[in-house]
Amino acid sequence: MFTSTIDTATEFEKRFEKINTHVFDNSANASKAVAQQIAALIKEKQSQNKTCVLGLATGSSPKSLYAELVRLHREEQLSFKNVITFNLDEYYPMKAESIHSYVRFMNEQLFDHIDILKENIHIPDGTLAKNEIAGFCTQYEDQIEKTGGIDLQILGIGGNGHIGFNESGSLQNSKTRLVALDHSTRIAASKEFEGLKNTPRTAITLGVHKIMEAKRVILLAWGESKSAIIAKAVEEGLTNLVPASFLQEHQHVDFILDKEAASKLTRINKPWLVEEVNWTDKLISKAVLDLAISLEKPILMLTDADYIENGMSDLLAQMGPAYDINIRIFNKLQNTITGWPGGKPGADDSKRPERALPAKKRVLIFSPHPDDDIISMGGTFKRLHEQGHEVHVAYQTSGNIAVADDEAIRFAKFITDYNEAFGISCDEAQSIYNKSFDFLKTKEIGGIDIPELRKIKGIIRRGEARATSHFVGLPDIQIHFMNLPFYETGAIEKNPLGAEDIALTIDLIEQIKPHQIYAAGDLADPHGTHKVCLDAVFEALKQIKHKDFMKDCWLWLYRGAWQEWGIDEIDMAVPMGPDQVIEKRFGIFKHQSQKDGVVFQGSDSREFWQRAEDRNRETAELYDKLGLAHYAAMEAFVKWEY
């Protein structure tokens, strides 16, 4: 059985859930727990002189699991010689040696680092002729049967609820087959292929029927981006629109989640509907705001009947009447709004989000990529500078992989043309251009650039970031390019956060000694760049929080271009007028390499400035609908206790 640091819910509290769910504080601890289960199964089979048949998944979810299994092999001598594996799927067509193939993924993540016998590894073949696929799929299932069936199947879950590549609409009796990939699945994978147009349209997948025949199933899900589909699969009815919901009928299945992936489960998201709760200020805010939004009512228009009819009668009994609760939450939300993100000098700050003193603060804005600062908090960024604070911006990574190849080669050609126009002799510049041009002729989609090309792309993004900071008004001395080492792999796949990344972060904080730190608080993907950059900040603050200057330092988290904080989470909302919205747009325009044909655009045709404006407008509209002042736009922040 699983024992987690968070999952202490009783069976009564889980009564909305139709699948066993276990919630861990983070994906690393969850993966260690699953690895221990796998290790125990392997050892049990070894003691019986039997083979252990594992069904394995790919994608980001099992990466930390495979890393832990490798550690168990290296440090605790866990042997895999009795293990037979069958992978769930493979893109089609796909060469085994391609950087995108699941053959390569499994070798790099697991097989090359353990003592498994090569003949015991089975992965769907993406190189077959189409007329060979049906026969191969039948043979694949026969091989599983001959081993006695899968002892333990590891799964991830797609944003549309797919398991393997069994997309929405797949049937419970579906066999191993060639499938067309859902548009949303291709969007999710498109960043690996440098755009949707390059992303495969088909794949070979193990069928739902074979997955359901596994003796045991463990599904892994990490991050906020999986929370909505997890709630559907676990709590709603059985439907082929969410193939993961079929697992409700499996006799031995566990969903292993981090707290972000579990955040929309009823017992976590709306615990007052599940059990008698301790009505803390935070929980009251969450419940009342959720009620107002679901009923489409301003806060002050909620009635006693609204509370009673929506499972909140105990709150009404303890804190009511509704009028009193409404006023309390309305005032609390009203107090999050401020035009003074650095604090208003000479004002009573007892109900303001930020302190009035010191009147002039040192501010450090961490930006994971070279444009996150202006996209996510550009209005606040500019206002902090205009209100006299000493604002520093730190670009944590170079962002070089997000520059299109043709943009980089155009830039390199500009240099050679510039030299020629002004009679500057520079054979090295021409050589770099020629080398880059020749490399791009044979570069595989999503392939790793040569160092020269990566440096050119980094220079482009650095110049754009500097232009934005100059637009805001910052001098060069307050613009910091960190180039954290974890990012510099030249590929989508990054290295784990390391000691050098944290040391660079600590050095910068100690150099500036800020009163305010702003960081990207995106929790959607635990392996994503934003989350790794946030972890670097968290770890740095953990190591130096005992220092005197840190006693006066507050940490504010903003969100990236893709989503916003929940209204109940917001501690500070900085309003913007129409003119300030336009100013922010002009700041975003400085990032010319990220306009129009963005490498990781996916299916969303909006440019970053449009996404940012839409999100900021929607936040302001939500405040308006709840009965507060109406603004053109708002940027939202959460104060984080470290």
* Active site members: 167
Nearest-CA neighbor of 536 among 561, 492, 504? 504
**Within 10 Å of residue 98's Cβ, how many Cβ atoms?**
18
Q: Which residues of 125-156 are buried (b: 16+ CB within 10 A; e: fewer)?
A: bbebeeeebeebbeebbeebeeeeebbbbbbb
In the 8-state DSSP scheme, what is residue 215?
S
- What is the rounded distance in angstroms from the CA atom of residue 155 to the CA atom of residue 162? 10
Give me the residue label for tokens 């899900």. 221
Task: Supply 140's token pair.
Answer: 């694949």
The residue type at 186: R
Can you give 149-191 as a three-state secondary structure string? CCCEEEECCCCCCCECCECCCCCCCCCCEEEECCHHHHHHHHH
Contact in structure between 635 and 377 (CB atoms under 8 Å): yes
Torsion of CA 355, 356, 362, 364, to 10 degrees: 40
Q: What angle do CA 104, 216, 16 make, to 5 degrees?
A: 110
- What is the rounded distance in angstroms from the CA atom of residue 243 to the CA atom of residue 245? 5
In the 8-state DSSP scheme, what is residue 360?
S
- What is the rounded distance in angstroms from the CA atom of residue 471 to the CA atom of residue 379? 12
β-strand pairing of 52-56 with 20-24:
unpaired
- What is the rounded distance in angstroms from the CA atom of residue 172 to the CA atom of residue 150? 17
Q: What angle do CA 212, 214, 217 make, to 5 degrees?
A: 85
- What Cα–Cα distance (Å) separates residue 640 from each residue in 181, 458, 532, 538? 40, 31, 17, 10
